[in-house]
């Protein structure tokens, strides 16, 4: 199968590429891949562990090997021997120039960049270029996944965002103030009938116009990959619910470095990420405890994302108690296998004739589209049931 990655030279993308090629060559195990668990037996028939990669990128690097080497020299997040084993494959992976419209001030932290709009062309021409790039790469088994840097919250306009006709008008009228890069990537993929996933909290396909475009055409899912602190939160919080313990307050303090941390250090880029993290407690508990969610840049951590959580809760006879936990993980290592998982499940859905939002893939996301289900236990059951029903 083929995976087109938006933000192809980022640490999550390159780690997914190395992992995919290492699996293909038999030099890595399937540890971390949800799609390889026993409940999903038979998925190989629809989406084999055999990957080709391409993508859009705005950073100026020669190929995926050079991008991976840059990340690996900084983070040492996996053994150099793995990169050596797939070096020839990674050198062959090159990207097309992408767009970064309305990506916020944080985009400047990525270093030297080049975008399609440097050529001063309009939105219609930009999407035509994006579609042409995807079309050249794609075959009948291609999935597009957005793993680019988090965008600021967009300015939504009913005229342009509530219907596909309105979005087409937005492109033709070149109303760039209402367009974001993630919307343009999602539109391009869905227009071509390619399954699409939004692994970021950016808007992507999660506007009415693009959900309408996907109906009857191709499956899509999102948004914001659930990989770390929120994964623990949505797994742990149900325990309090099941035992009828009242959560009074929940503080989450996240620190991280690397390019992701640099971008999220900018308040406009951070806003949608904080909003995505904040939503889960109310959805899960049915009430809103006091909450604090902070994300701060901590340069020396690089991709080692650390979260400190404090939970204040009330039990029998009104007695107040506390629970603390620390999450400390390499973000790319927990995120990369999910890229492969999501791509495989979306290709499976496409082959089974499913279109529109696949809400059952909400297990992989903090803010699942068209679903209020964020309890990890229930999401996993939903995913298993969906797979078995569709497979049969």
Q: Supply the CATH classification number for the domain 229-329.
A: 3.30.360.10
CATH superfamily of 2-225+333-391: NAD(P)-binding Rossmann-like Domain (3.40.50.720)
DSSP 8-state secondary structure symbol assigned to residue 106: G
Q: Kindly state the tokens that stand for 160.
A: 């342009």
Residue 272 has pLDDT above 70, yes or no: no
Structural domain boundaries of the chain? 2-225+333-391, 229-329
pLDDT in tens, 195-241: 999 999 999 999 999 999 999 999 999 999 999 999 999 999 999 99
Q: Kindly state the tokens that stand for 83.
A: 């990169």
- pLDDT, residue 33, reads 98
Sign of CA dihedral 13, 283, 262, 295: negative
In this prediction, residue 276 has a pLDDT band, given cuts at 50, 70 and 90, of low
pTM of the model: 0.94
pLDDT in tens, 12-62: 999 999 999 999 999 999 999 999 999 999 999 999 999 999 999 999 899
In this prediction, residue 263 has a pLDDT band, given cuts at 50, 70 and 90, of confident
Average pLDDT over residues 359-375: 95
Provide the Cα torsion 107, 259, 203, 291; round to 10°. Answer: -120
Residue 356 has pLDDT above 90, yes or no: yes
Secondary structure (DSSP) of 139-201: -TTEEEEE-PPPPPPP---HHHHSSHHHHHHHHHHT-GGG--HHHHHHHHHHHTT--EEE-SS
- pLDDT, residue 212, reads 98
Average pLDDT, the chain: 94
pLDDT in tens, 301-337: 988 999 999 999 999 999 999 999 999 999 999 999 9
In this prediction, residue 381 has a pLDDT band, given cuts at 50, 70 and 90, of very high
């Amino acid at each position: 199968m083929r995976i087109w990655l938006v933000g192809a030279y980022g640490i999550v993308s390159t780690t997914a590429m190395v992992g995919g090629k290492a699996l293909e060559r038999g030099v890595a195990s399937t540890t971390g891949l949800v799609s390889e668990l026993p409940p999903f037996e038979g998925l190989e028939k629809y989406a084999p562990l055999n990957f080709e990669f391409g993508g859009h990128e705005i950073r100026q690097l020669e190929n995926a090997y050079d991008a991976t080497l840059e990340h690996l020299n900084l983070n040492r997040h996996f053994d150099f021997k793995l990169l050596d084993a797939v070096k020839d494959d990674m050198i062959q992976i090159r990207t097309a120039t992408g767009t970064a419209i309305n990506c916020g001030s944080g985009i400047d932290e990525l270093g030297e960049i080049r975008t399609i709009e440097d050529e001063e062309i309009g939105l219609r021409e930009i999407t035509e270029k994006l579609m042409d790039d995807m079309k050249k790469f794609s075959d009948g088994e291609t999935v597009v996944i957005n793993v680019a840097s988090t965008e600021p919250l967009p300015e939504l306009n009913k005229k342009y965002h509530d219907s596909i006709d309105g979005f087409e008008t937005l492109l033709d009228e070149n109303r760039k103030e209402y367009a974001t890069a993630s919307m343009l990537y999602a539109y391009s993929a869905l227009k071509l009938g390619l399954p699409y996933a939004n692994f970021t909290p950016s808007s992507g396909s999660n506007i009415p116009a693009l959900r309408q475009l996907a109906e009857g055409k191709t499956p899509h899912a999102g948004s914001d990959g659930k990989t770390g602190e929120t994964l623990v939160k949505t797994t742990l919080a149900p325990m309090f619910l099941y035992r009828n313990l009242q959560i009074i307050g929940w503080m989450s303090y996240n620190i991280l470095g690397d390019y992701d941390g640099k971008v999220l250090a900018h308040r406009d880029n951070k806003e949608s990420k904080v909003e995505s993290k904040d939503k889960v407690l109310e959805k899960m508990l049915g009430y809103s405890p006091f909450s604090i969610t902070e994300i701060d840049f901590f340069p020396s951590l690089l991709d080692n994302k650390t979260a400190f959580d404090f939970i204040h809760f009330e039990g029998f006879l009104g007695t107040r108690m506390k629970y603390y936990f620390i999450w400390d993980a390499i973000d790319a290592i927990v995120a990369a296998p999910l890229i492969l998982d999501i791509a495989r499940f979306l290709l499976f859905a496409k082959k089974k004739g499913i279109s529109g939002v696949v809400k059952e893939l909400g297990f992989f996301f903090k803010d699942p589209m068209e679903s209020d289900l964020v309890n990890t236990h229930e999401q996993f059951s939903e995913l298993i049931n969906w797979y078995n029903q569709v497979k049969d």
